[in-house]
Homo-oligomer: A and B are copies of this chain.
């Protein structure tokens, strides 16, 4: 269960670097130098790190400071072999973004937000990132009177069109990934779920360059099935990146270690990612508990990877178990891949066919989902 580069585990600098302040409490840990984070994560077996501009370079820093920070960071990357698969922008911490970035009611803020993103895209490209994440945590409202949502979506689209054109014009090998979240810090956030973001993306000029970075906890904060959401994102070719963590249902954003929330859903998620064609980073976006010191921080980083690997092993055993294959067949899970109409069949043919279909008889048949579900539980528990 020792992670290797091949596992493609990555971490946001802001995860291990979180100083553990929360809405009711001060920081419990000192600031962490990104250089140290890169080295420690490399030692633990990680493959990549991601960053917000402000994680690396203090907001408003002068050019000398900026270059110094970037140089030190590059050096750490070079020394460790850690890659930067993804970068993103902090459009939520400074008071200027209190009503949003791309969709602030204040046009001057929207312009500033765009400039901030553009600048960091250049850095992302320079550092080799192929995914640029946009979490619009401040794009939203607390009162429906205060935000014209349709105008806001116009501006959101305008921003995405500008950004996609920008990477095209500069020949950057970068795709964008929107990260949905239903609420917190805003009362209601625009594009609150995987679905709303998918709908929005379909309206963009270069929608082929825009996909998703769904986060386990964000979708579960809306009580939604994350595995279903990821399935739809994959189905629409839009799973560009993923944020793995844990959450215990609708409440504040917990950012627990992966698997430390809904463990069964984590099992099915790993099963889907490993067997469903996703080949992007396994990226952890979590917060080490505020009760921990720096040892706990590194223990938590390791725990994320170890849990993933354990679940991967469990999922492989599940898929390989003949009893599971039999149960899948009995439940007709594979039959769902068969088109409902036969090749060349017309509606008229369909209506004429199956004259002897007996709804009562078919309705009485059992699907055996209980057996399948219990097999999954037992595999998750390592009991088969």
> Are A142 and B365 within 8 A (Cβ)?
no
With A185-B25, A227-B144 given, is the CB distance from A369 to B98 under 8 Å? no
* Cβ A95 vs Cβ B185 within 8 A: no
A192 surroundings in chain B (CB, below 8 A):
193, 195, 224-225, 228
How many residues on A have C-beta within 8 angstroms of the other chain's C-beta atoms? 169
A148: which B residues are within 8 A, CB to CB? 333-334, 336-337
Among candidates B104, B108, B142, residue contacting A373 with C-beta atoms closer than 8 Å: B142
Q: State the Cβ distance, A179 to closest chain B Cβ, in Å.
A: 13
Bound-complex Cα distance A198 to B300 (A): 37
Q: Name the distance in Å between A276's Cβ and chain B's nearest Cβ.
A: 7
Q: Would you call A96 an interface residue if the criterion is a C-beta within 8 Å of the partner chain's C-beta atoms?
A: yes
Stretch touching chain B among A61-69, A70-78, A123-131, A255-263 = A255-263
Contact across chains for A369 and B252 when beta carbons are under 8 A apart: no
Chain A, residues 204-231, CB within 8 Å of chain B (1/0): the string is 0000000000000000011111011101
Other-chain residue from B60, B105, B263, B296 in contact with A370 (beta carbon distance below 8 A): B296
Chain B residue with the shortest CB-CB distance to A115: B351
Task: Say whether B263 contacts A380, CB under 8 Å.
Answer: yes
Take A254-B187, A366-B291 as given contacts and tell me if A377 and B263 are in contact as well, using a CB distance cutoff of 8 Å.
yes
Copies assembled: 4
List 4 additional contacts besides A23-B184, A60-B359, A381-B382; criterion CB under 8 Å.
A95-B360, A96-B363, A187-B254, A260-B264
Q: How far is the CA of A26 from the CA of B360 in the complex (A)?
A: 11
CB-nearest residue of chain B to A352: B115
CA distance in complex: A47, B293 (Å): 44
In the complex, whether A84 has a CB less than 8 A from a CB of chain B is: no
Stretch at the interface among A4-12, A35-43, A243-251: A243-251
For residue A326, give the distance in angstroms from its CB to the closest CB of chain B.
Answer: 13
Q: Taking each of A198, A261, A372, A381, which has the highest tally of chain B beta carbons within 10 Å of its own beta carbon?
A: A381
**Pairwise interchain contact B299-A371, C-beta atoms closer than 8 A:** yes
Q: Does A55 sit within 8 A of B, measured CB to CB?
A: no
A32 adjacent to chain B (CB < 8 Å): no
Q: Which residues of B contact A310 (CB under 8 A)?
A: 378, 381, 383
CA distance A143 to B21 in the complex (A): 19
| Complex interface: chain B residues within 8 A of A293 (CB) | 364-366
Minimal Cβ-Cβ distance residue in B for A307: B377
Q: List 27 A-B contacts (CB under 8 A).
A: A23-B252, A24-B137, A28-B98, A106-B362, A107-B338, A115-B351, A144-B227, A145-B268, A145-B372, A146-B367, A149-B227, A183-B252, A187-B248, A194-B199, A197-B199, A198-B202, A199-B201, A199-B202, A222-B223, A223-B223, A257-B373, A288-B370, A291-B367, A292-B366, A296-B366, A307-B377, A310-B378
CA distance A366 to B288 in the complex (A): 11
Q: How far is the CA of A25 from the CA of B28 in the complex (A)?
A: 17
Select one of B22, B104, B373 contacting A260, CB under 8 A: B373
Q: Looking at the complex, which one of B146, B149, B228 makes contact with A331 (CB distance below 8 Å)? A: B146
Query: Residues of B contacting A198 with CB < 8 Å?
Result: 195-196, 198-200, 202
A99-B291, A357-B112 given as contacts; is B158 within 8 A of A340 (CB)? yes
B336 near A152 (CB under 8 angstroms)? yes
Q: Chain A, 328-346, contact with B by CB distance < 8 Å: what is the 0/1 string?
A: 1001111111111100000
